[in-house]
Amino acid sequence: MKANINKLAIDGGVPVRKNLLSYGRQSIDEGDIKAVVEALRSDWLTTGPSVTAFEEAFAEFVGTRHAVAVNSGTAALHASIFAVGLKPGDEAIIPTITFAASAICVVFQGATPIFADVDPDTLLLDPDQIEEKLTPRTKAVIAVDYTGQPCDYDRIKEVCLNNELILITDSCHAVGAKYNEQMVGSIGDLAAFSFHPVKHLTTGEGGMITTDDAEYAERMRRFRNHNIASDFHQRAEAGSWFYEVVDLGYNYRLTDFQCALGLSQLRKITSWVNRRREIAKRYDEAFADIPAVQPLEVSPKAFHSYHLYIIRLDLAKLNVDRGTIFQALRAEGIGVNVHYIPAHLHPFYKERFNTGLGQCPVAEEAYDRIITLPMFPAMSDGDVEDVINAVTKVGEFYKN
C-alpha cells in the first residue's frame, strides 16, 4: 500500500461511512401523508378528482395546455408513441445512453428503434446523428434529457422541422429543468415524465405526458383506460353505464391517492431542484481538483435539474478499471450506481434488431468510465462531504 494514504475499506480499512448512502431516494413529509390519507377517505380511490387536479397543476407548472397522468414513466412513453401513431414499418431515433424503456415502448407499437450516438461531453443525443440515421421510414425522434440536462433543442428541433419528424422528449430525468428559459415539458410535441421514488417528485410509481395538442391528449386518456371512449368518472357524472372500446389500449391509470401525493410533492419541487443544484455545485468544486474525475459538462443554455450526478473516470490517470473504483466506493459506504448500459448492447436489441459493439462508439467508450454518485434533496451537507471524501480517498489511492 502507498505510504501516507488511508487504507481503503475494500482492503479492510475504516470506511468513510458506516451506513450505505443510496444514490437516490424519495422525500415524504407529514403534508404528503395527510394528502394521501384524505384521498383514501374520499369517495374516489381511482379515476377521480385528484387525477384531474394533479394533471392541471402539472400542466401549469411546465406551461402546456394538457397533461395526462399514467402509472409509470414507461406508460408515459408508450402512450406518447401510441398517440403520434407509430406503427410497424416506422422508425424512431433514440440515443443509446438511456433506460431501456425509451426504446422498448417503440417496440411495443411494432416500430423499430434506431440507436444514435451521444455527445462526448454531455452524453446527450448528438443532433448530427439524427441526420445520419434518417431514412424514409423515420417518423419520430425521442430525445432523452439524460441526468436532468435538456438536450440541444435548438438543433434537434431544426432537424425535426426540416424533416417533418415528431419530437417526443423523454424528460423522465428532468422535472424542473429549462432550456433557454423554457420549461422542459413544453419544448417538443409531447414530453414524458416519471414519478418513481428516486425522481424529483414521486407518486410511488407514476408518470405524466404533457402536450399542447388536444387530439394527442384525448388519445392518451383513452389509451390509459383500455381505449374505452369514456372513463368511470365521466359515466358516473352522466348517469350512464354504456362504454365502447375504440382501439387497443392498456390499463395505465394512476390512482387518486397517488395523484394526491403527486400534487402535494409538486408544491415543493422548486426547493428540491434548488437543493439538487446546490449539491451539484459542491461536487463540481470538489472534483475540479481531482484529475481522474470529470463531471459531465453542462450547456450554458441549460438549467439542469440533476436527477443524476455522473462522473467520468479518466482511466489513463488510474491504475484500475471502473469496476474496481465502483466496488471501492461501495465499500466506503457510498451507494454508487451506473446509468446506463448503452441500450443497443442489451441482448434483446442485439438479437431482434442486429445491434452491437461499434455502432455507437462514443457511448460505448463512455459507458466504461461513468459512475453515478448520490444525489437527492434530503442529503445533508455531511452526506455530500462523505461522498467527496470517499471519491477523493479512492481516487488518490488508485491514481497513477
Which residue, among 365, 73, 361, 364, has the nearest Cα to 197 in the 3D structure?
73
Instruction: Give the CA distances from residue 84 to residues 44, 123, 213, 225, 319, in Å, rounded to whole numbers and listed in that order.
Output: 31, 26, 10, 17, 49
Name 329's Cβ contacts closer than 8 Å, sequence gap at least 6: 336, 371, 390, 391, 394
Catalytic residue among 139, 157, 178, 199: 199
- Report the greatest alpha carbon distance in the chain: 80
DSSP alpha helices (H): ranges in the chain?
A: 30-40, 49-62, 73-83, 101-108, 127-133, 153-162, 214-223, 232-238, 256-266, 269-287, 322-331, 347-353, 361-367, 381-398
Q: Per the structure block, which three cell numbers stand in for 93?
A: 431515433
Which residue, among 159, 195, 121, has the nearest Cα to 370 in the 3D structure?
121
Instruction: Give the CA distances from residue 163 to residues 116, 117, 354, in Å, rounded to whole numbers and listed in that order.
Output: 17, 19, 26
Does the annotation mark 87 as catalytic? no
Catalytic residues, which ones?
Answer: 199
